[in-house]
């Protein structure tokens, strides 16, 4: 690997001048610049990241903490982040938090130690206070998929309450009045917000909230299946079932099918997230879409703006859920 010294010799200038040409902030005579660039080209010179980092304190790394790197949900978000990082010549450093406080703390510590220039995090287990503490450690930090009041200007999130409300209103509009809900873990802000939205919509429609129609599960398929079985066992009749994510809806679907219930003709079923899977269930699942890629992009832009000391004014922070209508709901008259 060629060093700046070799380049400087070949171009017959000092190392300082080479550096100036490459970083392009100081005036260098056109003729000198050309000579330097030629030498750089000829030697296929690339500045040593470490040496540069040592003096600039920049690693060029965008640290990301996600729950689970394998989930398509986060994958899509990562894709959004990757796009903007790469266009800035930065790379992704990824660590998983597994929705577990210790692991999340570790992941964050780890990225901080590796000197990520910015942090984009989706944490679920760490408290708001702890997030605020991390945010004040000097490295720009952006929260995605979560709203923390103290970090409002650094939270990129989806209005899950609006999403829960939106979907419930849709079911109401289709004539359903007995709507069951499989909620996500109550420890998760997103899950709680969806439930609040559901209740809100019922209230707006003048319907009473019936706790017997709600079961809490853990966002995984199997728990959705069990939740649906539980609901059926209660023998409360309901004509629609709203699962707080698509995976649980998929689980519920198989439980309903096993119970000999026709979806959507006997019971309408909807999910939330619009993961790829939703489209391929049978019947194709109506759901709520979160623009994950756009959110990832926004988070990255925000983080980089902060790194540059800009305000990131123009960057969108709140995203609206949208309804995706497929074939899992039938109107009821």
Residues that bind DNA (CB under 7 A): 1-5, 12-20, 22-23, 25-29, 31-33, 45, 47-48, 50-52, 54-56
| Cβ 304 to DNA shortest distance, Å | 18
Name residue 142's beta-bridge partners.
Answer: 120
CB 107, CB 99: distance < 8 Å: no
Question: Which of 196, 118, 188 has its CA nearest to residue 163?
Answer: 196
Q: How far apart are CA 197 and CA 123, in angstroms?
A: 22
Q: Which of 7, 65, 93, 118 binds a copy of itself (CB under 8 A)?
A: 93
CB 178, CB 238: distance < 8 Å: yes
Select from a copy of itself, DNA, none the partner in contact with residue 209, using the beta carbon and a kind-dependent cut-off of 5 to 8 Å: none
236 touching a copy of itself, by CB under 8 A: no
Stretch near a copy of itself under the rule CB under 8 A, chosen from 25-33, 93-101, 148-156, 163-171: 93-101
- 91 Ramachandran zone, left/alpha/beta (phi>0; psi -120 to 50): beta
Select from DNA, a copy of itself, none the partner in contact with residue 104, using the beta carbon and a kind-dependent cut-off of 5 to 8 Å: none
Of residues 9 and 178, the one with the C-beta less far from DNA: 9
Name residue 288's beta-bridge partners.
Answer: 323
Q: Which of 21, 36, 39, 82 binds a copy of itself (CB under 8 A)?
A: 82
x/- binding map, residues 103-142, to a copy of itself, per CB under 8 A?
-------xx-xxx---------------------------
The encoded tokens of residue 41 equal 């080209």
For residue 254, what are the contacts with CB-CB under 8 A and spacing of at least 6?
A: 225
DSSP H or E segment with residue 287: strand 287-289
Of residues 125 and 277, the one with the C-beta less far from a copy of itself: 277
Q: How far apart are CA 251 and CA 229, in angstroms?
A: 10
Select from a copy of itself, DNA, none the partner in contact with residue 123, using the beta carbon and a kind-dependent cut-off of 5 to 8 Å: none
**Per CB under 8 A, which of residues 17..56 are in contact with a copy of itself?**
46, 48-51, 53-54
**Per CB under 8 A, which of residues 268..327 are in contact with a copy of itself?**
276-277, 280-282, 293
| Cβ 285 to a copy of itself shortest distance, Å | 9
Of residues 60 and 75, the one with the C-beta less far from DNA: 60
Cα 200 to Cα 91, 167, 319, 331, distances in angstroms: 42, 11, 19, 21
Q: Which of 5, 79, 236, 332 binds a copy of itself (CB under 8 A)?
A: 79
Q: How far apart are CA 324 and CA 172, in angstroms?
A: 16
Q: How far apart are CA 129 and CA 139, in angstroms?
A: 17
């Amino acid at each position: 690997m060629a060093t700046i010294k070799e380049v400087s010799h070949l171009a017959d200038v000092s190392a300082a001048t080479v550096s100036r040409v490459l970083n392009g902030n100081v005036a260098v005579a056109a003729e000198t610049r050309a000579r330097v660039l030629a030498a750089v080209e000829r030697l296929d010179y690339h500045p040593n990241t470490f040496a540069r980092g040592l003096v600039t304190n920049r690693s060029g790394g965008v640290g990301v903490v996600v729950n689970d790197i394998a989930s398509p949900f986060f994958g899509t978000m990562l894709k959004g982040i990757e796009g903007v990082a790469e266009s800035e010549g930065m790379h992704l450093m990824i660590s998983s938090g597994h929705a577990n406080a210790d692991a999340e703390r570790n992941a964050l510590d780890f990225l901080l130690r590796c000197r990520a220039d910015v942090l984009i995090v989706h944490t679920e287990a760490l408290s708001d206070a702890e997030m605020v503490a991390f945010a004040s450690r000097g490295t720009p930090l952006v929260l995605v998929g979560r709203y923390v009041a103290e970090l409002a200007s650094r939270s990129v999130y989806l209005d899950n309450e609006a999403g829960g409300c939106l979907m419930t209103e849709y079911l109401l509009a289709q004539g359903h009045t007995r709507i069951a809900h499989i909620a996500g873990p109550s420890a998760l802000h997103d899950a709680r917000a969806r439930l609040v939205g559901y209740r809100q919509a019922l209230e707006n429609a003048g319907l009473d909230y019936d706790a017997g129609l709600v079961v809490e599960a853990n966002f995984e398929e199997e728990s959705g299946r069990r939740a649906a079985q539980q609901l059926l066992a209660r023998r409360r009749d309901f004509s629609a079932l709203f699962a707080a994510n698509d995976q649980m809806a998929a689980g519920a679907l198989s439980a309903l099918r096993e119970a000999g219930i026709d979806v959507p003709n006997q019971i309408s079923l909807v999910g939330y997230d619009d993961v790829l899977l939703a489209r391929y269930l049978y019947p194709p699942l109506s759901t709520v879409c979160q623009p994950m890629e756009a959110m990832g992009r926004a988070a990255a832009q925000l983080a980089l703006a902060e790194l540059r000391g800009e305000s990131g004014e123009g960057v969108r922070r709140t995203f609206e859920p949208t309804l995706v209508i497929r074939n899992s709901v039938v109107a009821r008259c």
